[in-house]
Amino acid sequence: MMKKGLYLFMMLIVAAALTACGGGKKEDGGSKVTIEFMHSSVEQERLAVIDKLVAKFEKENPDIKIKQVPVEEDSYNTKIVTLASAGKLPAVLEVGQDYAKVMDKDQLIDKGSVKTVLGKAGKENFYEGALKLVKTEDGKNYTGVPISGWVQGIWYNKEMLAAKGFQEPKNWDDVLAIAKAFTDPKNKKYGIAIPTVEGGFSEQAFSQFALSNNANILDGKGKTAVNSTEMKEALTFYQELSKYTMPGSNDVTEVKDAFMNGSAPMAVYSTYILPAVFEEGNAANIGFAIPTQKTKAVFGTVSALTISSGLEDNQKKAAEKFVEFIAQPENMTDWVLMSPGGAQPVSKQVIENEKYQSNEVVKAFGELSNEIAASYNDIQVFGLVDGKNFLKMGDITSSGAIPKMVNGITVGGKSIDSELKTAGKSIQEILDKK
Protein backbone atom coordinates (compact mmCIF):
# COMPACT_ATOMS: atom_id res chain seq x y z
CA MET A 1 0.00 0.00 0.00
CA MET A 2 2.86 2.37 0.77
CA LYS A 3 4.38 1.86 -2.69
CA LYS A 4 1.03 2.38 -4.39
CA GLY A 5 0.41 5.57 -2.41
CA LEU A 6 3.89 6.87 -3.23
CA TYR A 7 3.35 6.13 -6.92
CA LEU A 8 0.05 8.03 -6.99
CA PHE A 9 1.67 10.94 -5.16
CA MET A 10 4.51 11.10 -7.69
CA MET A 11 2.03 10.94 -10.58
CA LEU A 12 0.12 13.89 -9.13
CA ILE A 13 3.36 15.88 -8.88
CA VAL A 14 4.20 15.09 -12.51
CA ALA A 15 0.67 16.03 -13.64
CA ALA A 16 0.87 19.33 -11.79
CA ALA A 17 4.22 20.09 -13.38
CA LEU A 18 2.91 19.28 -16.83
CA THR A 19 -0.12 21.50 -16.28
CA ALA A 20 2.13 24.37 -15.28
CA CYS A 21 4.25 23.87 -18.39
CA GLY A 22 1.26 23.68 -20.72
CA GLY A 23 -0.03 27.19 -20.15
CA GLY A 24 2.99 29.17 -21.23
CA LYS A 25 6.77 29.53 -21.25
CA LYS A 26 9.49 32.10 -20.90
CA GLU A 27 11.32 33.35 -23.98
CA ASP A 28 14.25 35.68 -24.67
CA GLY A 29 16.28 34.50 -21.71
CA GLY A 30 13.37 34.78 -19.28
CA SER A 31 12.35 38.37 -20.12
CA LYS A 32 9.23 37.36 -22.05
CA VAL A 33 6.45 34.93 -21.20
CA THR A 34 4.26 33.20 -23.77
CA ILE A 35 0.79 32.01 -22.83
CA GLU A 36 -1.76 30.16 -24.91
CA PHE A 37 -5.28 31.44 -25.50
CA MET A 38 -7.86 28.90 -26.66
CA HIS A 39 -11.09 30.12 -28.26
CA SER A 40 -13.75 28.97 -30.74
CA SER A 41 -13.57 31.85 -33.24
CA VAL A 42 -12.20 29.97 -36.22
CA GLU A 43 -13.98 32.00 -38.92
CA GLN A 44 -11.73 34.39 -40.83
CA GLU A 45 -13.72 37.51 -39.91
CA ARG A 46 -13.73 36.65 -36.22
CA LEU A 47 -10.07 35.69 -36.20
CA ALA A 48 -9.24 39.08 -37.71
CA VAL A 49 -10.92 40.81 -34.74
CA ILE A 50 -9.11 38.66 -32.19
CA ASP A 51 -5.81 39.15 -34.04
CA LYS A 52 -6.23 42.92 -33.63
CA LEU A 53 -7.07 42.57 -29.93
CA VAL A 54 -4.04 40.35 -29.36
CA ALA A 55 -1.76 42.74 -31.27
CA LYS A 56 -3.08 45.66 -29.24
CA PHE A 57 -2.47 43.77 -25.98
CA GLU A 58 1.05 42.73 -26.95
CA LYS A 59 1.90 46.31 -27.88
CA GLU A 60 0.76 47.46 -24.43
CA ASN A 61 2.49 44.50 -22.77
CA PRO A 62 5.73 43.81 -24.68
CA ASP A 63 6.85 41.26 -22.09
CA ILE A 64 3.89 38.95 -22.90
CA LYS A 65 3.20 36.97 -26.07
CA ILE A 66 -0.22 35.44 -26.76
CA LYS A 67 -0.29 32.24 -28.79
CA GLN A 68 -3.79 31.60 -30.10
CA VAL A 69 -5.33 28.12 -30.18
CA PRO A 70 -8.52 28.39 -32.29
CA VAL A 71 -10.68 25.24 -32.08
CA GLU A 72 -13.93 24.38 -33.87
CA GLU A 73 -16.95 24.64 -31.56
CA ASP A 74 -18.09 21.06 -32.21
CA SER A 75 -14.85 19.59 -30.90
CA TYR A 76 -14.07 22.29 -28.34
CA ASN A 77 -14.97 20.49 -25.09
CA THR A 78 -13.30 17.29 -26.25
CA LYS A 79 -10.14 19.28 -26.99
CA ILE A 80 -10.14 20.66 -23.44
CA VAL A 81 -10.32 17.13 -22.04
CA THR A 82 -7.48 15.99 -24.28
CA LEU A 83 -5.23 18.92 -23.39
CA ALA A 84 -6.01 18.67 -19.68
CA SER A 85 -5.19 14.94 -19.68
CA ALA A 86 -1.84 15.71 -21.33
CA GLY A 87 -1.10 18.54 -18.91
CA LYS A 88 -1.13 21.07 -21.76
CA LEU A 89 -4.19 23.14 -20.94
CA PRO A 90 -3.85 26.72 -22.28
CA ALA A 91 -3.52 29.48 -19.70
CA VAL A 92 -6.65 31.31 -20.90
CA LEU A 93 -9.73 29.60 -22.33
CA GLU A 94 -13.05 30.76 -23.69
CA VAL A 95 -15.76 28.67 -22.00
CA GLY A 96 -19.53 28.47 -21.81
CA GLN A 97 -21.13 28.42 -18.39
CA ASP A 98 -22.11 24.75 -18.54
CA TYR A 99 -18.70 23.39 -19.44
CA ALA A 100 -17.10 25.75 -16.93
CA LYS A 101 -18.94 23.70 -14.28
CA VAL A 102 -17.22 20.57 -15.55
CA MET A 103 -13.84 22.27 -15.45
CA ASP A 104 -14.53 23.55 -11.94
CA LYS A 105 -15.49 20.06 -10.82
CA ASP A 106 -12.18 18.75 -12.19
CA GLN A 107 -10.27 21.59 -10.47
CA LEU A 108 -9.00 23.01 -13.77
CA ILE A 109 -9.88 26.64 -13.00
CA ASP A 110 -7.89 29.13 -10.94
CA LYS A 111 -10.89 30.72 -9.24
CA GLY A 112 -8.66 33.06 -7.29
CA SER A 113 -7.30 34.57 -10.50
CA VAL A 114 -10.79 34.87 -11.98
CA LYS A 115 -11.99 36.66 -8.86
CA THR A 116 -9.00 39.02 -9.02
CA VAL A 117 -9.75 39.95 -12.63
CA LEU A 118 -13.46 40.48 -11.95
CA GLY A 119 -12.54 42.78 -9.10
CA LYS A 120 -10.31 44.87 -11.35
CA ALA A 121 -12.86 44.88 -14.18
CA GLY A 122 -15.58 45.98 -11.77
CA LYS A 123 -18.27 43.41 -10.96
CA GLU A 124 -20.80 46.21 -10.69
CA ASN A 125 -20.45 46.82 -14.44
CA PHE A 126 -21.77 43.37 -15.36
CA TYR A 127 -25.42 42.38 -15.49
CA GLU A 128 -26.22 40.42 -12.35
CA GLY A 129 -27.76 37.60 -14.39
CA ALA A 130 -24.54 37.15 -16.37
CA LEU A 131 -22.55 36.87 -13.15
CA LYS A 132 -25.05 34.38 -11.69
CA LEU A 133 -24.41 32.04 -14.60
CA VAL A 134 -20.70 31.79 -13.79
CA LYS A 135 -21.03 31.57 -10.00
CA THR A 136 -19.63 28.50 -8.28
CA GLU A 137 -21.83 26.13 -6.31
CA ASP A 138 -20.92 27.72 -2.98
CA GLY A 139 -21.80 31.16 -4.36
CA LYS A 140 -18.45 32.59 -3.27
CA ASN A 141 -16.44 32.44 -6.50
CA TYR A 142 -16.77 32.53 -10.28
CA THR A 143 -15.72 30.15 -13.02
CA GLY A 144 -14.91 32.85 -15.56
CA VAL A 145 -15.17 36.49 -16.56
CA PRO A 146 -18.25 37.02 -18.80
CA ILE A 147 -17.38 38.53 -22.19
CA SER A 148 -20.54 38.09 -24.26
CA GLY A 149 -23.64 35.93 -24.40
CA TRP A 150 -27.09 35.43 -25.83
CA VAL A 151 -30.59 35.33 -24.45
CA GLN A 152 -33.73 33.52 -25.48
CA GLY A 153 -37.39 34.47 -25.36
CA ILE A 154 -40.50 34.65 -27.51
CA TRP A 155 -39.99 36.59 -30.73
CA TYR A 156 -43.12 37.87 -32.41
CA ASN A 157 -44.08 39.50 -35.68
CA LYS A 158 -45.74 42.81 -34.75
CA GLU A 159 -47.69 43.20 -37.99
CA MET A 160 -49.06 39.66 -37.93
CA LEU A 161 -50.23 40.00 -34.34
CA ALA A 162 -51.76 43.43 -34.94
CA ALA A 163 -53.70 42.10 -37.97
CA LYS A 164 -55.66 39.85 -35.60
CA GLY A 165 -55.95 42.42 -32.85
CA PHE A 166 -53.18 41.14 -30.60
CA GLN A 167 -50.39 42.99 -28.81
CA GLU A 168 -47.24 41.67 -27.15
CA PRO A 169 -48.00 38.51 -25.14
CA LYS A 170 -47.49 39.22 -21.45
CA ASN A 171 -48.25 35.82 -19.89
CA TRP A 172 -49.04 32.19 -20.62
CA ASP A 173 -52.70 32.90 -21.40
CA ASP A 174 -51.74 35.55 -23.97
CA VAL A 175 -49.27 33.19 -25.65
CA LEU A 176 -51.85 30.42 -25.85
CA ALA A 177 -54.59 32.72 -27.19
CA ILE A 178 -52.34 33.98 -30.00
CA ALA A 179 -51.14 30.47 -30.82
CA LYS A 180 -54.72 29.20 -31.14
CA ALA A 181 -55.82 32.15 -33.29
CA PHE A 182 -53.12 31.61 -35.92
CA THR A 183 -53.09 27.82 -36.17
CA ASP A 184 -54.38 26.42 -39.46
CA PRO A 185 -52.62 23.08 -40.09
CA LYS A 186 -54.34 22.49 -43.44
CA ASN A 187 -52.60 25.57 -44.81
CA LYS A 188 -49.41 24.85 -42.87
CA LYS A 189 -49.89 27.83 -40.59
CA TYR A 190 -49.07 27.55 -36.90
CA GLY A 191 -49.46 29.78 -33.88
CA ILE A 192 -45.98 29.40 -32.43
CA ALA A 193 -42.75 27.64 -33.34
CA ILE A 194 -41.33 25.79 -30.34
CA PRO A 195 -38.77 22.99 -30.07
CA THR A 196 -40.01 19.48 -29.34
CA VAL A 197 -36.89 17.55 -30.33
CA GLU A 198 -35.19 15.21 -27.89
CA GLY A 199 -32.27 17.60 -27.54
CA GLY A 200 -30.84 20.58 -25.71
CA PHE A 201 -32.99 23.17 -27.49
CA SER A 202 -36.14 21.66 -25.98
CA GLU A 203 -34.66 21.77 -22.48
CA GLN A 204 -33.71 25.43 -22.92
CA ALA A 205 -37.14 26.45 -24.23
CA PHE A 206 -39.12 24.47 -21.68
CA SER A 207 -36.96 25.78 -18.84
CA GLN A 208 -38.25 29.30 -19.42
CA PHE A 209 -41.86 28.27 -18.92
CA ALA A 210 -41.03 26.05 -15.95
CA LEU A 211 -38.92 28.66 -14.17
CA SER A 212 -41.52 31.37 -14.81
CA ASN A 213 -43.84 29.12 -12.76
CA ASN A 214 -41.19 28.71 -10.01
CA ALA A 215 -40.49 25.13 -11.07
CA ASN A 216 -36.84 24.04 -10.95
CA ILE A 217 -35.08 20.72 -11.33
CA LEU A 218 -33.27 21.06 -7.99
CA ASP A 219 -34.18 22.73 -4.72
CA GLY A 220 -32.00 24.94 -2.53
CA LYS A 221 -30.31 21.87 -1.01
CA GLY A 222 -29.45 20.34 -4.35
CA LYS A 223 -32.14 17.66 -4.10
CA THR A 224 -34.55 16.76 -6.88
CA ALA A 225 -37.58 19.02 -7.22
CA VAL A 226 -38.81 17.76 -10.57
CA ASN A 227 -42.00 16.19 -9.18
CA SER A 228 -43.46 19.48 -7.96
CA THR A 229 -46.95 20.77 -8.72
CA GLU A 230 -45.36 23.75 -10.47
CA MET A 231 -43.39 21.47 -12.79
CA LYS A 232 -46.48 19.48 -13.69
CA GLU A 233 -48.32 22.72 -14.47
CA ALA A 234 -45.47 23.85 -16.75
CA LEU A 235 -45.39 20.52 -18.58
CA THR A 236 -49.17 20.64 -19.01
CA PHE A 237 -48.90 24.10 -20.56
CA TYR A 238 -46.03 23.11 -22.88
CA GLN A 239 -47.95 20.03 -23.99
CA GLU A 240 -50.99 22.19 -24.78
CA LEU A 241 -48.85 24.77 -26.58
CA SER A 242 -47.29 22.05 -28.73
CA LYS A 243 -50.70 21.48 -30.33
CA TYR A 244 -50.21 24.80 -32.11
CA THR A 245 -46.70 24.26 -33.43
CA MET A 246 -45.39 22.31 -36.41
CA PRO A 247 -45.78 18.52 -36.27
CA GLY A 248 -42.80 16.27 -35.55
CA SER A 249 -39.60 16.80 -33.58
CA ASN A 250 -38.81 20.47 -34.17
CA ASP A 251 -35.24 21.62 -33.70
CA VAL A 252 -33.32 24.85 -34.41
CA THR A 253 -33.80 24.82 -38.19
CA GLU A 254 -37.53 24.09 -38.14
CA VAL A 255 -38.26 26.76 -35.52
CA LYS A 256 -36.21 29.45 -37.23
CA ASP A 257 -37.57 28.68 -40.70
CA ALA A 258 -41.21 28.74 -39.53
CA PHE A 259 -40.79 32.20 -38.04
CA MET A 260 -38.71 33.65 -40.87
CA ASN A 261 -41.04 32.44 -43.65
CA GLY A 262 -44.18 33.62 -41.85
CA SER A 263 -45.59 30.19 -41.07
CA ALA A 264 -45.76 31.19 -37.40
CA PRO A 265 -46.07 34.68 -35.85
CA MET A 266 -44.16 33.67 -32.71
CA ALA A 267 -41.08 31.56 -32.00
CA VAL A 268 -38.95 30.59 -29.04
CA TYR A 269 -35.40 31.26 -30.16
CA SER A 270 -32.16 32.95 -29.18
CA THR A 271 -30.95 36.39 -30.20
CA TYR A 272 -29.15 34.69 -33.10
CA ILE A 273 -32.37 35.09 -35.04
CA LEU A 274 -31.75 38.86 -35.20
CA PRO A 275 -29.01 38.85 -37.88
CA ALA A 276 -31.39 37.02 -40.24
CA VAL A 277 -34.18 39.50 -39.48
CA PHE A 278 -31.77 42.38 -40.14
CA GLU A 279 -30.68 40.88 -43.46
CA GLU A 280 -34.32 40.80 -44.57
CA GLY A 281 -34.67 44.48 -43.70
CA ASN A 282 -37.49 43.82 -41.25
CA ALA A 283 -35.86 44.93 -37.99
CA ALA A 284 -38.68 47.29 -36.98
CA ASN A 285 -41.28 44.50 -37.15
CA ILE A 286 -39.87 42.13 -34.51
CA GLY A 287 -40.70 42.17 -30.82
CA PHE A 288 -39.25 40.31 -27.84
CA ALA A 289 -41.45 38.91 -25.08
CA ILE A 290 -40.53 37.11 -21.87
CA PRO A 291 -42.84 34.20 -20.97
CA THR A 292 -44.19 35.14 -17.56
CA GLN A 293 -46.48 33.33 -15.15
CA LYS A 294 -45.48 33.86 -11.53
CA THR A 295 -42.17 35.51 -12.35
CA LYS A 296 -40.01 36.54 -15.31
CA ALA A 297 -37.64 33.91 -16.66
CA VAL A 298 -35.17 34.47 -19.49
CA PHE A 299 -32.94 31.65 -20.64
CA GLY A 300 -29.45 32.83 -21.42
CA THR A 301 -25.85 31.82 -21.78
CA VAL A 302 -22.54 33.55 -21.37
CA SER A 303 -19.21 33.12 -23.06
CA ALA A 304 -16.53 33.70 -20.45
CA LEU A 305 -12.76 33.74 -20.28
CA THR A 306 -11.27 31.56 -17.58
CA ILE A 307 -7.75 30.99 -16.29
CA SER A 308 -6.45 27.46 -15.87
CA SER A 309 -5.06 26.18 -12.60
CA GLY A 310 -1.46 25.11 -11.97
CA LEU A 311 0.23 28.02 -13.74
CA GLU A 312 3.55 29.45 -12.63
CA ASP A 313 3.35 32.93 -11.12
CA ASN A 314 4.56 34.76 -14.24
CA GLN A 315 2.11 32.83 -16.41
CA LYS A 316 -0.74 33.49 -14.00
CA LYS A 317 -0.01 37.22 -13.92
CA ALA A 318 0.19 37.31 -17.72
CA ALA A 319 -3.12 35.44 -18.00
CA GLU A 320 -4.79 37.80 -15.54
CA LYS A 321 -3.50 40.82 -17.47
CA PHE A 322 -4.84 39.45 -20.75
CA VAL A 323 -8.31 38.60 -19.42
CA GLU A 324 -8.51 41.98 -17.70
CA PHE A 325 -7.57 43.59 -21.02
CA ILE A 326 -10.33 41.77 -22.94
CA ALA A 327 -12.79 42.75 -20.17
CA GLN A 328 -12.21 46.45 -20.82
CA PRO A 329 -15.38 48.01 -22.34
CA GLU A 330 -13.84 48.97 -25.70
CA ASN A 331 -12.34 45.50 -26.16
CA MET A 332 -15.48 43.66 -25.04
CA THR A 333 -17.38 45.80 -27.53
CA ASP A 334 -15.15 44.56 -30.36
CA TRP A 335 -15.70 40.99 -29.13
CA VAL A 336 -19.51 41.34 -29.06
CA LEU A 337 -19.58 43.01 -32.46
CA MET A 338 -17.96 39.95 -34.06
CA SER A 339 -21.61 38.84 -34.29
CA PRO A 340 -23.79 41.95 -33.90
CA GLY A 341 -27.36 41.22 -32.90
CA GLY A 342 -26.69 37.58 -32.11
CA ALA A 343 -24.03 38.06 -29.42
CA GLN A 344 -25.24 40.27 -26.60
CA PRO A 345 -23.37 42.53 -24.16
CA VAL A 346 -22.99 41.23 -20.61
CA SER A 347 -21.66 44.58 -19.41
CA LYS A 348 -23.59 47.83 -19.09
CA GLN A 349 -20.47 49.66 -20.23
CA VAL A 350 -20.65 47.95 -23.62
CA ILE A 351 -24.27 49.08 -24.04
CA GLU A 352 -23.12 52.63 -23.38
CA ASN A 353 -20.14 52.36 -25.73
CA GLU A 354 -20.43 54.65 -28.77
CA LYS A 355 -19.02 52.02 -31.12
CA TYR A 356 -21.69 49.55 -30.02
CA GLN A 357 -24.51 52.09 -30.29
CA SER A 358 -23.42 53.16 -33.76
CA ASN A 359 -23.21 49.64 -35.21
CA GLU A 360 -25.68 49.36 -38.10
CA VAL A 361 -27.28 46.15 -36.80
CA VAL A 362 -27.66 47.45 -33.26
CA LYS A 363 -29.06 50.76 -34.54
CA ALA A 364 -31.55 48.98 -36.78
CA PHE A 365 -33.28 47.38 -33.78
CA GLY A 366 -33.33 50.64 -31.84
CA GLU A 367 -34.49 50.43 -28.23
CA LEU A 368 -35.06 46.69 -28.61
CA SER A 369 -31.27 46.19 -28.43
CA ASN A 370 -31.18 47.78 -24.97
CA GLU A 371 -34.30 45.89 -23.87
CA ILE A 372 -32.76 42.56 -24.84
CA ALA A 373 -29.47 43.28 -23.08
CA ALA A 374 -31.30 44.39 -19.93
CA SER A 375 -33.17 41.07 -19.88
CA TYR A 376 -29.97 39.54 -18.48
CA ASN A 377 -31.32 40.76 -15.14
CA ASP A 378 -34.14 38.19 -15.50
CA ILE A 379 -31.89 35.21 -16.28
CA GLN A 380 -32.98 31.93 -14.71
CA VAL A 381 -31.65 28.48 -15.53
CA PHE A 382 -32.27 24.99 -14.20
CA GLY A 383 -29.98 24.13 -11.28
CA LEU A 384 -29.40 27.75 -10.24
CA VAL A 385 -31.21 28.13 -6.93
CA ASP A 386 -30.85 30.87 -4.31
CA GLY A 387 -27.47 31.91 -5.71
CA LYS A 388 -26.18 28.33 -5.77
CA ASN A 389 -25.13 27.00 -9.18
CA PHE A 390 -25.24 23.25 -8.59
CA LEU A 391 -22.53 21.27 -10.40
CA LYS A 392 -24.75 18.20 -10.66
CA MET A 393 -27.05 20.09 -13.03
CA GLY A 394 -24.40 19.65 -15.72
CA ASP A 395 -24.65 15.87 -15.34
CA ILE A 396 -28.46 16.06 -15.44
CA THR A 397 -28.41 18.07 -18.66
CA SER A 398 -25.84 15.70 -20.20
CA SER A 399 -28.10 12.73 -19.41
CA GLY A 400 -30.85 14.10 -21.68
CA ALA A 401 -33.54 13.30 -19.11
CA ILE A 402 -35.33 16.63 -19.48
CA PRO A 403 -35.58 16.88 -23.30
CA LYS A 404 -36.57 13.22 -23.38
CA MET A 405 -39.45 14.10 -21.06
CA VAL A 406 -40.44 17.11 -23.21
CA ASN A 407 -40.30 15.09 -26.41
CA GLY A 408 -42.31 12.31 -24.79
CA ILE A 409 -45.23 14.52 -23.78
CA THR A 410 -45.32 16.48 -27.06
CA VAL A 411 -44.30 14.30 -30.01
CA GLY A 412 -44.68 10.97 -28.21
CA GLY A 413 -48.11 11.67 -26.78
CA LYS A 414 -47.15 10.11 -23.44
CA SER A 415 -48.73 11.04 -20.14
CA ILE A 416 -47.16 13.76 -18.05
CA ASP A 417 -47.27 11.67 -14.88
CA SER A 418 -45.40 8.76 -16.44
CA GLU A 419 -42.76 10.99 -18.04
CA LEU A 420 -42.27 12.93 -14.80
CA LYS A 421 -41.78 9.65 -12.95
CA THR A 422 -39.21 8.44 -15.48
CA ALA A 423 -37.32 11.72 -15.47
CA GLY A 424 -37.41 11.89 -11.68
CA LYS A 425 -35.91 8.42 -11.43
CA SER A 426 -33.10 9.27 -13.87
CA ILE A 427 -32.30 12.52 -12.07
CA GLN A 428 -32.28 10.83 -8.66
CA GLU A 429 -29.81 8.21 -9.95
CA ILE A 430 -27.49 11.01 -11.07
CA LEU A 431 -27.75 12.77 -7.72
CA ASP A 432 -27.00 9.53 -5.89
CA LYS A 433 -23.70 9.13 -7.70
CA LYS A 434 -20.69 10.43 -5.80
Specify the pLDDT at position 3.
Answer: 39
| Domain 23-149+304-370, classified CATH 2.20.25.90, yes or no | no
**Residues 39-53, mean pLDDT to the nearest whole number:** 96
State the SS3 of the chain: CHHHHHHHHHHHHHHHHHHHHHHEEEECCCCEEEEEEEECCCCHHHHHHHHHHHHHHHHHCCCEEEEEEECCHHHHHHHHHHHHHCCCCCCEEEEEHHHHHHHHHCCCECHHHHHHHHHHHCHHHECHHHHHHCECCCCCCECCEEEEEEEEEEEEEHHHHHHCCCCCCCCHHHHHHHHHHHCEHHHCECCCECCCCCCHHHHHHHHHHHHHCCCCCECCCCCECCCCHHHHHHHHHHHHHHHHCCCCCCCHHHHHHHHHCCCCCEEEEEHHHHHHHHHCCCHHHEEEECCECCCECEEEEEEEEEEECCCCHHHHHHHHHHHHHHCCHHHHHHHHCCCECCEECCEHHHHCCHHHHCCHHHHHCCHHHHHHHHHHHHECCCCEECCEECCHHHHHHHHCHHHHHHHHHHCCCCCHHHHHHHHHHHHHHHHHCC
The predicted-structure confidence for 229-279, as pLDDT tens digits, reads as follows: 999 999 999 999 999 999 999 999 999 999 999 999 999 999 999 999 999
Is pLDDT above 80 for 11?
A: no
Distance CA 393, CA 346 (A): 23
Within this chain, domains 23-149+304-370 and 151-300+378-432 share the same CATH topology: yes
Neighbours of 9 (CB within 10 A): 10
Quote the CA–CA distance of 180 and 405 in Å, as a whole number: 24
pLDDT value for 30: 58
Domain ranges of the chain: 23-149+304-370, 151-300+378-432
* Per-residue pLDDT, 243: 98
Poorest-confidence range of 23-37, 58-72, 254-268, 385-399?
23-37
pLDDT in tens, 289-341: 998 899 999 999 999 999 999 999 999 999 999 999 999 999 999 999 999 99
Q: How confident is the model at residue 26 (pLDDT cuts 50, 70, 90)?
A: low
pLDDT tens, residue by residue, 359-409? 999 999 999 998 998 899 899 999 999 888 998 998 999 999 999 999 999
Q: What is the pLDDT of residue 31?
A: 76
**Is 208 a residue whose pLDDT tops 50?**
yes
pLDDT band at 21 (very low <50, low <70, confident <90, very high): very low
- Supply the pLDDT for residue 233: 98
**What's the CATH number of domain 151-300+378-432, 3.40.190.10, 3.40.50.1950, 1.10.240.10, 1.10.287.620?**
3.40.190.10
